[in-house]
Structure 1
Amino acid sequence: MSNQDVVVLNVGGMTFTTWASTLQQFPESRLARMLNGSDHDFRLMNGQFFVDRDGVLFSYILDFLRTLQLSLPTNFSDYQRLQREADFYELNSLAEILSQENLLKPRLEMLEVRFLLQETQAFIRIFGSCSSTIEELAGRIIMFTEQQLGQGWHNNSFPPQRSLNPVPLERPSHHDLVFQCGTDYSVADQLVTRYVSIKPDARKLINGTNVLGLLVDTLLKDGFHLSQINDDVAPESPAHRP
C-alpha cells in the first residue's frame, strides 16, 4: 500500500480516516504491518480495517502518530489503559512515554455516592472521576428482581413460584451508575422486590441502609478514603483514593 493512500479504520465501532503514511510512522508497529497484510488480527471488511479495541483511546494514539507528541485532556486518568493499548499496537515509543514515572504516579480519584431513601425503596447513584473504576464496580454490583402476586395471592391453596432474575444497572454515562433496592407495587398490583449483591460478598440484600453500608465497606477495602457523609435521608458520600 502506498503511503499516499487513504486508510479507513473501524476501531471498536468508531471510524477513523488517515493517510497510510501516518500509520507507518513506526515501521515495527502492528499498525504498519497491518497495511502490508502481515498481521492477521486486523481484518479488511468493506474497505475498512476492523480493530476490536477501544475507539476512544485509539483517538489519542492516532493523534500521537500524526504529531509525534502525546496530548491528553487535563482530567485524563486512564494512563494504564492507554499504555496497554500502546503495547497492543506495539508502539514502543508511546508505551515508553506512558511508563515514565511522572505520568504513572498516583493520582487523586474521586467517587461520590448519593443515597435516597423513600419509604420501602432506596436509590443509590455513584459518580466517579475514573471510568475504569465505575466499570469495575458495575461488574461487581448485581441487582435481582423477584416478582409475586399482590395481596390476594394468599387466598390460593399454594403461593406462586418465586424466582430471582438479574437486571442490568442503569448507566447514564461512563462515569456513573444507578441502582435501587427494596419493594414496590407495580401497575398490575404486583409486589416487586429488588435485591442487591456486591461481590465478593454473596449476600442478596434488600434493605437500602445495609446495601449502602456494604458498598462503603467495599470501597474502603479497595483503598478509598471516606471524606464526608451527611446524616440525613439523602446523604452524599464523597470518597477518594490516591
Structure 2
Amino acid sequence: MSLCYWSVATSVKLGRMSGQDLVTLNVGGRIFTMRLSTLKQFPASRLAGMLDGRDQEFKTVDGQIFVDRDGALFSFILDFLRNHELLLPSDFSDHHRLQREALFYELDSLVDLLSQSLLQSRSAVMEVHFLNQNTQAFFRVFGSCSKTIEMLSGRITMFVERPTALPGNRNSPLALPPQRPSHHDLLFHCGSDGTAENQAGVRYISIKPDNRKLANGTNVLGLLVDTLLKEGFHLVSTRTPASGEKSECYVFERIKSPQVLGMSKTPKSEITTMPAPSQK
C-alpha cells in the first residue's frame, strides 16, 4: 500500500500550515495571499516562474512579490487558479483586458475560456420599426442575432383575405411568410391593402403560439412586443425618428445569463509516491 501527497510546499502534518507554504503578491497595489501550490499548478506560466527568480519582471519587496499589473483583474485570475473555472458577473465588460492579463501571465487555459466567455456574453439587440399609415401598418424587425430573426420568421404568418367579389375566394385566406431581405431583418404589414373601390382584401398577422389573426397594427405591435419579452428581451428605448409620420422604433436587448466555464482537464500536479509506514 502506498500514500500519495502533493509535492509542493504545503504541509499536511497535523493540518497545520507554515508561513513558507504561503506567498504574498502585491499586484498593482492590491495584496493577495495564497498557497504556493496555487501558483505552481501551471508550471509553464509566468506565475510559476516568478517563484524561483527565473523571471526578472517580478521583484521581491518587503517579503512580497511585486507585480506591476492590474490588481482588480487579478482577483478573477486568482479565482480561476483556485477553482479551475471561469465565472464572471453578468455585467462584466472587461473581457479583452482580462484576456490581455491572462496572456501576460501565459495562462493559455484561461485565455481559451475567456474566448468562449466573450462569445457567450454578447448581448442580442432587436429593433422593431412600426409605421401606421392610413389603413395599413408596416413592420420592419432588425436583429443582431440571425437565430432570433429565424425564430420570429417561423412564428409570424400573414393571412390575406381575398375580396368577396372575386371567384374562388371561399377558400381559406392565403398564408404568406414575412419577407426576409437579409438574415438579420424581416418585413410584414397588416390592414387593408387598398380602398373600398378596388375591393382589395385585408391582411392579418398571426404570431405563434397565439392563434389570433389581427389586422389592427397597434394590436399586432403589442403581440410582437409581448413575444420578444417572453424570449428574454428587455425594452431599452423608444423613439419617433421623423416628425409628421406615425413612425416609431422600439429597441430591445437580451443579455445572456452568466455561465460557468470549466477547464476540460485539470492541470497535472506533481505527485510523489511514498511507502506507507509499516504497521506493527
TM-score, L = length of structure 1: 0.52
The runs of at least 4 aligned residues of structure 1 exceeding 4 Å deviation read: 97-101
Consecutive unaligned residues of structure 2, counting only runs of 5 or more, are 1-111, 256-280
Q: Report the equivalent of 1:144.
A: 159
1:216 aligns with 2:225: yes
- Alignment correspondent of 1:110: 125
Give the unaligned 5+ runs of structure 1: 1-96, 154-159
Cα distance, 1:162 vs. partner? 5.8
Residues 168, 188 of structure 1: alpha-carbon distance in 2 compared, 3 angstrom cutoff: farther
Q: Does 1:173 align with 2:182?
A: yes
- The number of aligned residues is 139
RMSD of aligned C-alpha atoms? Answer: 2.8
Q: 1:119: Cα distance to partner?
A: 0.8
Distance 1:186 1:121 in 2: 11
1:73-92, aligned counterparts within 5 Å? none
- TM-score, L = length of structure 2: 0.45
State the distance in 1 between where 2:181 and 2:150 align. 13
Indicate how the Cα distance of structure 1 residues 205 and 98 shifts in structure 2: closer, same or farther if over 3 A, else same: farther
Whether the 8 Å CA contact 1:116–1:124 is kept in 2: the answer is yes
Identity of aligned residues (%): 53
The Cα shift of 1:233 comes to 1.5
Q: Residue by residue, what CA displacement relative to the aligned partner does 1:45-74 show, whole Å, maximum 9, x if unpaired?
A: xxxxxxxxxxxxxxxxxxxxxxxxxxxxxx
Structure 1 residues 218 and 172, CA, compared in 2 at 3 Å: closer, same or farther?
same
| CA–CA distance in structure 1, aligned partners of residues 114 and 158 of structure 2 | 38
1:125 to partner: Cα distance: 0.3
Aligned 1:1-242 pairs, distance under 5 A: 101-149=116-164, 161=170, 163-185=172-194, 189-230=198-239, 233-242=246-255
For the pair shown, which has the larger CA radius of gyration, 1 or 2? 2
* Whole-angstrom CA distance in 1 between matches of 2:113 and 2:214: 42
Deviation at 1:185, TM superposition (A): 2.4
Show the counterpart of 2:103: none
Which secondary structure does the structure 2 equivalent of 1:239 belong to? strand
Larger relative contact order (CA 8 Å, sep ≥ 6): 2
Structure 1 residue 168, shift from structure 2 partner? 2.4
Q: 2-side partners of 1:100 and 1:237: how far apart?
A: 31
> Counterpart amino acid of 1:108?
S
In structure 1, how many angstroms separate the alpha carbons of the residues matched to 2:182 and 2:125?
Answer: 16
- Give, as a single letter, the amino acid of the residue that structure 2 aligns with 1:233: K
Residues 147-190 of structure 1, C-alpha deviations (whole Å, 9 max, x = no match): 1146xx9xxxxxx6363110121111110000000012279912
Asked whether the equivalents of residues 146 and 165 of structure 1 are also in contact (C-alpha less than 8 Å), the reply is yes
